[in-house]
Amino acid sequence: MTEGEPLIAVQSVRVAVSESANTTVRVDGVSKQYDLGGTVTALDDVSLDLSAGSYTAVMGPSGSGKSTLLNLIGGLDTPSSGQVVVNGQDVSAASEAERADIRGTEVGFVFQTFNLMPRLSAVENVALPLVFDDWDRARRRERARSLLSEVGLGDRTDHVPSELSGGQRQRVAIARALSTDPALILADEPTGNVDTETGAQILDLFDDLHAAGNTFLLVTHERHVAERAERIVHVEDGHIQSVEDVSGGEH
């Protein structure tokens, strides 16, 4: 471990967006405060780059700002200061509608609690981002079906979430995250709600998808989960403490 030696942390030099052709995500001096009577600083001057095809894990204690960081990158939230650029688009400066488009097409979310639409079937859930991306129905369903087969659920396409196991639900969510072929997949504790064995299967699926060229940013507080990634970003109290390379996976 190389604690206390930030490798990527402080990069306050302005880099033009176009220069970073290989950079999928650039987080530059981002802070996030919440005002609830007093001010809570969830993130404090965080900078981080993710290159295309990389697999990064974010670790840290509860309340350290991991989810906040993920939400800012995914355009679910906007930073109080600093810049977030995803696939060439400045998320931090985007309008609400533009952020909605970025969420729909540039990133795919996988949540701990799956967050599937309860009354839509698996195939409809997977197709949902395509609805907002204005695909026609036939193409949506075709794409959703093929993604469901890819994650091993080709025989469950018409089941609603309540008819699926936790692991199956998470695989539907992963298929949904892939549907618009996003530049980046953001996973917030994707194995937090499933048993160890199912969690391992999900991580195997991530490995396959990573091998196929997808970029991953995964939040976890489990070491063995984080070690599936190429590197681990340690966050504490809103700061990046260190960035650890996990070469060869076996550490």
Partner 1 sequence: MDTGESVRITLRSIRAHKLRSALTVVGVVIGIASVITFATFGASVEAEIVGDIETSNAGNIYVFGTPSGDDDFDRTLQPVFTEHDIQELEGIAGVQAVLPRGIVQTQSVQHGNQTLARQQVTATRPASFTPGVLVEGRSFETDEEAVVVNERMAGSFSENLTAGERLTMTMPDGSERNVTVVGVVNGTRGEVPVSEFARQPRVYVPIDPFYESVVESPSAGVRQRAYPQVTLVVDPREIPETQSAIQTYLTGASDARSLSADDTELVARSGNDFVEEISDVIERITRFVTGIAVIALVVGAIGIANVMLVSVTERTREIGIMKAVGARNRDVMQVFLVEAALLGTIGSLLGVPLGLLVGYGATRYAEVTFSLAPLWMALAVGVGVLVGVVAGLYPAWRAARVDPIDALRHE
Ligand X SMILES: Nc1ncnc2c1ncn2[C@@H]1O[C@H](COP(=O)(O)OP(=O)(O)OP(=O)(O)O)[C@@H](O)[C@H]1O
Residues near 85 by Cβ (< 8 Å), separated by ≥ 6?
Answer: 17, 20, 23, 25, 26, 28, 91, 92
Contact between 111 and partner 1 per CB under 8 A: yes
Dihedrals phi, psi of 29, to nearest 5 degrees: 55, 40
Q: Which of residues 144-173 bind partner 1 (CB under 8 A)?
A: none
Residues near 97 by Cβ (< 8 Å), separated by ≥ 6?
Answer: none
51: buried, middle or exposed (CB in 10 Å: 19+, 13-18, 0-12)?
Answer: middle
Contact between 109 and partner 1 per CB under 8 A: yes
Q: Which of residues 7-46 bind ligand X (CB under 6 A)?
A: 34, 36, 40, 42
Pick the stretch among 9-17, 40-48, 72-80, 150-158 that binds partner 1 (CB under 8 A).
72-80
Closest contact distance (angstroms) between CB of 133 and partner 1 is: 6
Determine how many CB atoms are found less than 10 A away from the CB of residue 226: 22
Closest contact distance (angstroms) between CB of 192 and ligand X is: 9
Q: Give the binding-site size for ligand X (rule: CB under 6 A).
A: 13
Determine how many CB atoms are found less than 10 A away from the CB of residue 81: 12
Using alpha carbons only, give the angle 220, 126, 92 rounded to the nearest 5 degrees: 55
Closest contact distance (angstroms) between CB of 61 and Mg ion is: 11
Bridge partner list, 30: 46
Helix (H, G, I), strand (E, B) or coil at 156: coil
Which partner in ligand X, partner 1, Mg ion, none is near 65 (CB below 5 to 8 A by kind)? ligand X
Contact between 128 and partner 1 per CB under 8 A: yes
Closest contact distance (angstroms) between CB of 26 and partner 1 is: 22
30, 65, 121, 225: which one contacts ligand X (CB under 6 A)? 65
Report the interface residues with partner 1, using CB under 8 A.
71, 74, 76-77, 96-97, 100-101, 103-105, 109, 111, 115-120, 124, 128-129, 131-134, 136-137, 176, 180
